[in-house]
Structure 1
């Protein structure tokens, strides 16, 4: 597929279209390389902050009776340490690596939704700054990174500290949801031609499962944070036993997130391991299909383990047996991955370079953490070790061994790609041994202190407890480990700027990210590769030269446009040309408006918060209005004699998948809300309330039926558009918008006669369900009106039908959830009456 343009001219033309602005204007950049690097740098800064907090904890516990920190300061420090490491370091760092690497590995020029990724970055940064600023001001949360109720409730924590955690973490988690949507759409649709699912790089499989887990696992915690903040701010009881609530509801919602979170952290790191080990063994990964299946199994089983953390709270014995068995069962697919790694090393010609040293450390440390995990899955042992330092040691062996060691290996491995320079073998080896020895010296003794009875979350202990020697060893190890991390960071920084220049593909890897110059150009590939196997560079060693010469897909520049390919999800056959947006300030403005909303909620400025929410909505609508064209586009030359439509004129476009993923996360939140309602109904004390609440059947029927009419109107609009009837299409959208307004009014009328929400959890949970339905109906009405305007403006046609299809998905979902809400509110009282 030769092109008549020179490689140099093609490079300059593509770089002109793809490069990010310079100076302060670079804040508007949306390129995945820039955004990924920003995630990595910010997460590294938060990691160092969390490390300093860990040093403070170990300094306090080094000796008995220590007065270095008082109880209040210690509570703030250990809460912020866990919060920073779990929410501000682990997931953002892994998402940053994924943002940077996946388009390059998949043979694409960018992520599916560049502006969404930039918006996620700003949300993550703002949420993190809220938490860190609170710590600097002495207002850090102090109820633990798990925020158990009732200790985090208004009775025992009346100040603003807990609100800061709830607001800051929820704000930051928006970033994780955005990243998951971005990654799934990219992996499924923006791959190189010929890269079917059976040829995807193994890291893409890991991230696909991880992103799906984020969509399902994060909404329960978001819901729990919303409920707890509403209880603290307005007095609506959800966790107050005296008014029909139950503090165990918080634990269920938290650990519905918390235990999948462990595997959300582990799987991307394991994906890095599965990517690097074949390179240093110089042979393909053994058991590729088995590894993919085991990753999917881990993702599925991880959602059946949350009660693993609640064995001591009074769970029924049958449930305890089930979750204990599930906790041990998850080790089977994890072991499959370990055996695949060992088989790959055993059968290959292993080269023991610096990244391989960290991988060996990972294998040793994580196996130890896995064995103690099996011990904690046994209920009798769990009862004895629960809330002791044994659990702290297990947690750090699994998370640090399962995430940090692979991450350090990945930093060494991909450093030449990011900076164009090689890491230092000698200094890197020194850093490894300091980290490895320090880590084991820190956490191995904690198993023993836990077994002899030292509780976790205590700020001091008596001299006669017999824990001084082990705690002193742990503190000494922590400082050795900190020195190792400091050496590692300095080594990366210095050699990243002045180290030996790296050749292209210095490790002789087979994946596509090495088929480009290092550091990478702004557009990744001058032409998009035609993939014939799982290791493209091993299959064709001169592939990089061919791509630079524009000999493959999209080998011509399109002035003023950013183009990449969308493929069939299963086969990898090209289906359309995706035209991506360039730099924009809108993600920044949207994040500021979102931040105004959260900060004003924090300080109880609810009218200003409402204004921030409206501003964010208007910015998002402006963002969406910029997409598309008012004329039906022609086909685009993707390769000589091969013409493809633009993505908004093709079926199953990335935008369709983006909405599908967003609704999956939304459905997980709704399912968690129904779970909470049913849990309180069946398990909470003081249920049912003294008198049943009567809901008007007339308004309830309208609230269930009118959303169906809204969805029907949207579907009629889509049908009119398909037949080319623009005026009818616009009219149906307007009808759908009006029906949405009526549905919102019906929901308000259902809620009107209810007693005060502060009276009982039955009322507050019913109102939350109605608020959920009403909010979705209001959004449906706004979007239908927006598409009516788009239709009149000429942005919608039978060919340009992506936006109506997306709204149809949303309106159908909204109608189904509205019916489910009304069925729940009417059905349960009828069943239990």
Structure 2
């Protein structure tokens, strides 16, 4: 091999042309494959739990989510046992409230959303042709936070501390006055940080899809499942912050008597509904779209033909994602909203059926055009289409305002919800489990048992939930503990209970087959379904020996020799060129190789950080303040330690990724995947802040006079002073950052004292700005407990204060790296990313000050 050379974009494009020689056609050096396997080897024994490989994390994720599915299902059976006959005394009323609340909460928050991300984390590296996703330790942290926090949250059921206000936690029922215990707090704090785990997974998925696709896998060649996960991850980024903001507000009300939702003190219980359903209704499509992506991936394989209407389906996926944000008030038609809002949401609720129907017709057309192979996945998909279409039809019915007013909060809505969610997600999930199970150990689940599983689940599901439509039309309300025989609901409830039992038998038979499969010896994955997507190339921990060159949407069909070529190392990055775990980073649109990313190895730090995070939130719930803060310190220390380990590899080094193709290791600035991950994280942050701003505006608009009697604003000079200090500090930080970009290594080393001085000065200015802002409000008599308007002001100040604490941590970390000599011209990700965060905090502080001071003045006009 020759020495490192500068590879031009034209040379890379020429190597990727159809008909060009394979990227790595030269003979591979001896021992290369063994070295690759050693680098990616999964630790054994207890050390397995230190693994950060997304294949292993994905399996743990899937198993844990299925565990919660079973647990929530058992709670559902208890509900049906209680309602099977009239006047039942099987379960006490208080216990029943906890059971139905936990059933809905576990199904929605601990099963439905996590299983979506779990399957993606497991499938995406192989489907994209990548060795791994770009932030494996972030995936591990997200999983362990979810698993530890979720299991601890579920255990509250056994000590009488489970929430009992419904999975939607509407105030005032969940306020301190009506729920004085800590039951509701476990929901608010436990679910709140589990949502943070989901957002971490979404960031991993977005960056992985945009930056780690195989060379040549342009956006128009991505598998539909990848498109669906990209849309869903973006939806998570914009939808989940609303529920995080809502849980913060409600917990502040419960813990410190800040009356955001107490009408007597200027609050509004409907505010919670706005925040919750801005998350809650997109969540339905966050759950459905990945299932739709799986269906669009499996049906072409089952029919052995290309997917009909690929581009149309992509547009439909995007359309569903966009329209879903216009449906949040779909569940608030009886909440007293204005006529314009009701009509708008009603129209959007009907319109969203159009892109959904497009996908259904495309699936039917694909099956019609191909030669269908009868199999268990096929039967589950047929069941899915029947159930989901029926659920969609009832969805259109409840979008009609007069009808919704009649059936709202009845069992008709319960039936509709389960037809959409179980039909729209659980049946495709089971089809996917049967379809992709050979990736785990090469064996398929039993076809004979599979047909029994499908039949029992289909019959049991419809027997369980279709009668609920009728019971709802007969007036049976949701969340009812018991009922009288005179109501005429006993027959339909008995049918539902029998159906639930049949459904449970089908699920139990599936798990029996899974345990039988696990005990069988592993064998080589030989693509038993003759699929076209690249997850079937290999079952190794590193996805495939070399990263394939892609020229079409169906690479395994269009190039039958692709599997052999990649295993011979004839494509991109055939070995461990840097001596560690690595993958190829490609451009977001055209998937042109840009650089090699070195991935962090296995570590206990993500598990330690997740345990500390869970301890912080859960121990705060029971008011163990000191142990909670110890857990928080452990979490912060573990995260800082893993950032220190993975940050700062020099980008000047070049490695050979193919014949005559050399690429740098790592990137800086906007070419870095970590820079874009920071941008997405700040979008999440800004959306949380926007939700808090919405709460402030909503509460202000309810007032006759703003500020209300007893509240006052500081003089206008104070926000100008605070904003000026923030801007000056941010400018100083940016000037020093840009100056350091212009210096070579020796000059930059001499410049480090000036850089550290600038960072300290910028930090002092930011802290002074916050002190001026907070102090001026306190001098003006700010009292968050007095009325909701003051509480809304206080929460924005507190949110800015939280960011100031983050800036202090980041500044300390930046200074430590500078003193350690790990802030050079080619290892400056820390400086660039912290600069983004710093400027965002400046912008947020200025926007908050403007809103707090200008909105009351505008309302006076």
Question: What is the alpha-carbon distance in structure 2 between the residues aligned to residue 76 and residue 685 of structure 1?
Answer: 40
Which of 488, 497, 505 is the matching residue for 1:466? 488
Deviates more, 1:767-776 or 1:742-751: 742-751
> Structure 1 residue 607: deviation in Å?
4.6
Going from structure 1 to structure 2, the CA distance change for 1:675 and 1:573 (only over 3 Å counts) comes to same
Residues 508-534 of structure 1 deviation map (CA, whole Å, 9 limit, x = unaligned): 111011111xxx111111111011111
Residues 117-175 of structure 1 deviation map (CA, whole Å, 9 limit, x = unaligned): 01001110122122211001121111101100000110000011111111111121121
Going from structure 1 to structure 2, the CA distance change for 1:413 and 1:685 (only over 3 Å counts) comes to farther
Instruction: Confirm whether residue 545 of structure 1 aligns to residue 556 of structure 2.
Output: no
Going from structure 1 to structure 2, the CA distance change for 1:503 and 1:169 (only over 3 Å counts) comes to closer
> Structure 1 residue 708: deviation in Å?
1.5
Paired position in structure 2 for 1:704: 723
> Structure 1 residue 637: deviation in Å?
1.2
Question: What is the alpha-carbon distance in structure 1 between the residues aligned to residue 703 and residue 669 of structure 2?
Answer: 51
Question: What is the alpha-carbon distance in structure 2 between the residues aligned to residue 533 and residue 793 of structure 1?
Answer: 48
Q: Do 2:333 and 2:342's aligned partners in 1 also have CA atoms closer than 8 Å?
A: yes
Paired position in structure 1 for 2:767: 741
Paired position in structure 1 for 2:685: 666
Question: What is the alpha-carbon distance in structure 1 between the residues aligned to residue 636 and residue 525 of structure 2?
Answer: 47
Paired position in structure 2 for 1:238: 260
Which of 485, 510, 520 is the matching residue for 1:498? 520
Going from structure 1 to structure 2, the CA distance change for 1:99 and 1:293 (only over 3 Å counts) comes to same
In the TM superposition, 1:248-259 aligns within 5 A as 248-259=270-281
> Structure 1 residue 50: deviation in Å?
0.5
Q: Do 2:711 and 2:782's aligned partners in 1 also have CA atoms closer than 8 Å?
A: no
| 1:577 partner SS | strand
Q: TM-score under structure 2 normalisation?
A: 0.94
Question: What is the alpha-carbon distance in structure 1 between the residues aligned to residue 522 and residue 626 of structure 2?
Answer: 57
In the TM superposition, 1:795-814 aligns within 5 A as 795-814=822-841
Q: Do 2:221 and 2:552's aligned partners in 1 also have CA atoms closer than 8 Å?
A: yes
In the TM superposition, 1:493-532 aligns within 5 A as 493-498=515-520, 503-516=525-538, 520-532=539-551
Residues 208-267 of structure 1 deviation map (CA, whole Å, 9 limit, x = unaligned): 000011111111111111111111111111111111111111111110110001000000
> Structure 1 residue 688: deviation in Å?
4.8
Instruction: Confirm whether residue 5 of structure 1 aligns to residue 34 of structure 2.
Output: no
Q: Which runs of 5+ in 1 are unaligned?
A: none
Which of 794, 816, 823 is the matching residue for 2:843? 816
In the TM superposition, 1:57-72 aligns within 5 A as 57-72=79-94
Q: Do 1:736 and 1:781's aligned partners in 2 also have CA atoms closer than 8 Å?
A: no
Question: What is the alpha-carbon distance in structure 2 between the residues aligned to residue 358 and residue 40 of structure 1?
Answer: 19
> Structure 1 residue 618: deviation in Å?
2.9
Paired position in structure 2 for 1:778: 805
Question: What is the alpha-carbon distance in structure 2 between the residues aligned to residue 432 and residue 367 of structure 1?
Answer: 18
> Structure 1 residue 825: deviation in Å?
1.1
Instruction: Confirm whether residue 638 of structure 1 aligns to residue 679 of structure 2.
Output: no
Residues 334-364 of structure 1 deviation map (CA, whole Å, 9 limit, x = unaligned): 1111111111111112112111110000000
Residues 464-501 of structure 1 deviation map (CA, whole Å, 9 limit, x = unaligned): 11111111111100000000000011112212432895
Q: Do 2:650 and 2:665's aligned partners in 1 also have CA atoms closer than 8 Å?
A: no
| 1:498 partner SS | coil
Instruction: Confirm whether residue 625 of structure 1 aligns to residue 641 of structure 2.
Output: no
Question: What is the alpha-carbon distance in structure 1 between the residues aligned to residue 631 and residue 765 of structure 2?
Answer: 26
Q: TM-score under structure 1 normalisation?
A: 0.97
| 2:377 partner SS | helix
Deviates more, 1:550-559 or 1:363-372: 550-559
Residues 635-680 of structure 1 deviation map (CA, whole Å, 9 limit, x = unaligned): 1211121111112347422111211111111111111111111111
Question: What is the alpha-carbon distance in structure 2 between the residues aligned to residue 530 and residue 341 of structure 1?
Answer: 28
Question: What is the alpha-carbon distance in structure 1 between the residues aligned to residue 167 and residue 464 of structure 2?
Answer: 21
> Structure 1 residue 608: deviation in Å?
4.3
Going from structure 1 to structure 2, the CA distance change for 1:685 and 1:306 (only over 3 Å counts) comes to farther
Paired position in structure 2 for 1:442: 464
Question: What is the alpha-carbon distance in structure 1 between the residues aligned to residue 29 and residue 365 of structure 2?
Answer: 45
Going from structure 1 to structure 2, the CA distance change for 1:466 and 1:502 (only over 3 Å counts) comes to farther
Q: Do 1:590 and 1:619's aligned partners in 2 also have CA atoms closer than 8 Å?
A: yes
Which of 571, 574, 598 is the matching residue for 2:593? 574
Q: Do 1:566 and 1:574's aligned partners in 2 also have CA atoms closer than 8 Å?
A: yes
Paired position in structure 2 for 1:594: 613
Instruction: Confirm whether residue 383 of structure 1 aligns to residue 421 of structure 2.
Output: no
Question: What is the alpha-carbon distance in structure 2 between the residues aligned to residue 629 and residue 499 of structure 1?
Answer: 43
Paired position in structure 2 for 1:41: 63
> Structure 1 residue 755: deviation in Å?
3.2
| 2:177 partner SS | coil
Deviates more, 1:809-818 or 1:46-55: 809-818
Residues 522-551 of structure 1 deviation map (CA, whole Å, 9 limit, x = unaligned): 111111101111111111111111111111
Instruction: Confirm whether residue 758 of structure 1 aligns to residue 780 of structure 2.
Output: no
Going from structure 1 to structure 2, the CA distance change for 1:503 and 1:819 (only over 3 Å counts) comes to closer
Instruction: Confirm whether residue 273 of structure 1 aligns to residue 269 of structure 2.
Output: no
Instruction: Confirm whether residue 721 of structure 1 aligns to residue 743 of structure 2.
Output: no
Question: What is the alpha-carbon distance in structure 1 between the residues aligned to residue 669 and residue 855 of structure 2?
Answer: 44
Paired position in structure 2 for 1:83: 105
Q: Do 2:266 and 2:702's aligned partners in 1 also have CA atoms closer than 8 Å?
A: no
Paired position in structure 1 for 2:389: 367
Going from structure 1 to structure 2, the CA distance change for 1:685 and 1:114 (only over 3 Å counts) comes to farther
Q: Do 1:59 and 1:475's aligned partners in 2 also have CA atoms closer than 8 Å?
A: yes
Question: What is the alpha-carbon distance in structure 1 between the residues aligned to residue 650 and residue 591 of structure 2?
Answer: 29
Which of 768, 773, 789 is the matching residue for 2:795? 768
Question: What is the alpha-carbon distance in structure 1 between the residues aligned to residue 362 and residue 755 of structure 2?
Answer: 55
> Structure 1 residue 772: deviation in Å?
1.2
In the TM superposition, 1:13-24 aligns within 5 A as 13-24=35-46
Question: What is the alpha-carbon distance in structure 2 between the residues aligned to residue 698 and residue 794 of structure 1?
Answer: 42
> Structure 1 residue 387: deviation in Å?
0.5
Going from structure 1 to structure 2, the CA distance change for 1:611 and 1:747 (only over 3 Å counts) comes to farther
Deviates more, 1:165-174 or 1:382-391: 165-174
> Structure 1 residue 685: deviation in Å?
8.2
> Structure 1 residue 683: deviation in Å?
3.0
In the TM superposition, 1:279-358 aligns within 5 A as 279-358=301-380
Instruction: Confirm whether residue 603 of structure 1 aligns to residue 622 of structure 2.
Output: yes
| 1:290 partner SS | helix
Question: What is the alpha-carbon distance in structure 1 between the residues aligned to residue 651 and residue 417 of structure 2?
Answer: 56
Q: Do 2:609 and 2:635's aligned partners in 1 also have CA atoms closer than 8 Å?
A: yes
Question: What is the alpha-carbon distance in structure 2 between the residues aligned to residue 332 and residue 631 of structure 1?
Answer: 50
Paired position in structure 2 for 1:100: 122
> Structure 1 residue 305: deviation in Å?
0.3
Residues 306-350 of structure 1 deviation map (CA, whole Å, 9 limit, x = unaligned): 101000011111110011001001111111111111111111121
Q: Do 2:651 and 2:666's aligned partners in 1 also have CA atoms closer than 8 Å?
A: no
Q: Do 1:79 and 1:141's aligned partners in 2 also have CA atoms closer than 8 Å?
A: yes
In the comparison of the two structures, how many residue pairs are matched? 829
Q: Do 2:670 and 2:676's aligned partners in 1 also have CA atoms closer than 8 Å?
A: no
Question: What is the alpha-carbon distance in structure 2 between the residues aligned to residue 807 and residue 500 of structure 1?
Answer: 46
Going from structure 1 to structure 2, the CA distance change for 1:338 and 1:56 (only over 3 Å counts) comes to same
Deviates more, 1:69-78 or 1:632-641: 632-641
| 2:714 partner SS | coil
